[in-house]
Amino acid sequence: MKLRIPRLLAIVLAAALAAACTPGGGSIYFTLENEVKVDDASLPNRITVFDVVNSGTAYYAAAGKIWTALVAADNFQVADVVPAPHAVDICTALAFFSGELYGGFINGSGNVGLHRTASLSFTPPTPVGTAADVLGAQIALLKVENSLLVAVAAKPSGLAFEYFVYTSPDGTTYTELALDGAQLGPIHDVIYAGAPFAAWFATEGVNLYSGAGPLSPVATTGITAGEELRGLFQLGSRLFLSSKAGAVYYSDNGVAWTRIEAPLISGAHPPLTRFAGPVGTGILLLGSDGYGYYRIDTTDLAAGTAAITRFPTTTIDLYSSSVTKFTLDTTPDPDVIFAATAMSGLWRGSVAGDGSITWALE
């Protein structure tokens, strides 16, 4: 999703209107195989969730507002809101780093930039960075990689936006992780891949970038020309890469890639988003735009029988949702996973030992 101000505000305003009417109580939805009861918690159901992060003691969910819940709590409570820097600000990105919560905010007047807080409030505002990096920029992505805070900032460039990647060791000083050339398309994902790669990777449009900094386009083999590349993930000694065309690529060296496709739905492969995992034994989860999520059993890669399969049984609402990203918490027993969706709310899952998940709508 391109995080240009008019489109993003339209999405969030639509979410706010939908949130004005929150269905209550439990509901019964038909699934492909059986009926599943949805335990409807207290958050609005028709909201777009941008991020969910874990501080170790609490979860935080950015969906315009920032809601919070103790890790030990059963669900989020609609009254438990972390105040934004200003009452009209909308949070579109979150990260927890070095004991503080970082949020990227916008409002009707434009970008509010990146702020941080060690308390349960962004008030008074505490902006970070300088005019040369993230100060006042639109924050398209926040995450922690290689013990650094990573921020993708979108800045006006004529009639379009140009995208920049910055890293910070302390949340105060920011260094550009430069990508060769002007990045006029959204940077979908950035990761630091450890051994055997020891390099940064980023996806932008049809391009895969890699290096220690600056990052350069990778001359890959096996990736279909013209496919828009999205999520990145490392599991063991392999890298995984998803595409809007419904493919997943995996590689042992970041250059030569093997392609597998998600099953056709109405004659087309589903657009894929970001990864999470592993759950169970070597199972990766992968979101999609409008088709819920998918599973890849990576233990089948060596035998050449790995396949992308749609998750088996859940509610119709999640089955037809756009799952933009996941947050996996392996500290509790069983593991807890959150699925952030576009206009289908926040879903919490309890992960069984075989990787199957029981979902409830927050």
Is 74 or 12 the better-scoring residue by pLDDT? 74
**The residue to which tokens 């979150």 are assigned:** 94
Mean pLDDT score, 174-185: 92
pLDDT of 234-246, one tens digit each?
999 999 999 999 9
Question: What are the residues whose beta carbons fall under 8 Å from the beta carbon of 55, sequence distance 6 or more?
Answer: 96, 101
Residue 7: helix, strand or coil by DSSP? helix
**pTM given for the model:** 0.87
Any alpha helices (H) in the chain, and if so which ranges?
5-19, 316-319
Q: Under a CB-based contact definition with an 8 Å cutoff, are residues 246 and 233 in contact? A: no
Mean pLDDT score, 85-95: 96
pLDDT of 22-67, one tens digit each?
333 333 222 333 444 455 547 999 999 999 999 999 999 999 999 9
Q: Under a CB-based contact definition with an 8 Å cutoff, are residues 262 and 273 in contact? A: no
Q: How far apart are CA 177 and CA 169, in angstroms?
A: 13
Q: Under a CB-based contact definition with an 8 Å cutoff, are residues 51 and 142 in contact? A: yes
Using the predicted structure, report yes or no on whether residue 295 has a pLDDT greater than 70: yes
Q: Provide the CA 295 distance to its chain's centre, in angstroms.
A: 16
pLDDT of residue 3: 47
Question: What are the residues whose beta carbons fall under 8 Å from the beta carbon of 73, sequence distance 6 or more?
Answer: none
Cα–Cα distances (Å) from 173 to 86, 166, 168, in that order, read: 24, 10, 6
Mean pLDDT score, 85-89: 96
pLDDT of 353-362, one tens digit each?
999 999 999 9
pLDDT of residue 73: 93
Mean pLDDT score, 115-124: 96
Question: ω before 214 within 30° of 0 (cis)?
Answer: yes
Local confidence band at 303 (pLDDT 50, 70, 90 cut-offs):
confident
Q: Under a CB-based contact definition with an 8 Å cutoff, are residues 190 and 232 in contact? A: yes
Q: Hey, what are 251's tokens?
A: 């590689």
Q: Under a CB-based contact definition with an 8 Å cutoff, are residues 176 and 166 in contact? A: yes
First to last CA, the chain: 23
Residue 176: helix, strand or coil by DSSP? strand
pLDDT of residue 35: 43
Residue 112: helix, strand or coil by DSSP? strand
How many CA atoms lie less than 13 Å away from 113 in the CB half-sphere? 15
**The residue to which tokens 């240009």 are assigned:** 4
pLDDT of residue 313: 60
Q: Under a CB-based contact definition with an 8 Å cutoff, are residues 278 and 284 in contact? A: yes
For residues 191, 192, 196 and 199, what is the CA-based torsion angle, rounded to 10 degrees? 110
Using the predicted structure, report yes or no on whether residue 112 has a pLDDT greater than 50: yes
Q: Under a CB-based contact definition with an 8 Å cutoff, are residues 49 and 63 in contact? A: yes
Using the predicted structure, report yes or no on whether residue 90 has a pLDDT greater than 50: yes
Q: What is the DSSP string of 194-261?
A: -TTT-EEEEEETTEEEEESSSBEE---BSSPTTPPEEEEEEETTEEEEEETTSEEEEESSSSB-EEEE
Question: What are the residues whose beta carbons fall under 8 Å from the beta carbon of 188, sequence distance 6 or more?
Answer: 203, 204, 229, 230, 231
Q: How far apart are CA 215 and CA 178, in angstroms?
A: 6
Local confidence band at 216 (pLDDT 50, 70, 90 cut-offs):
very high
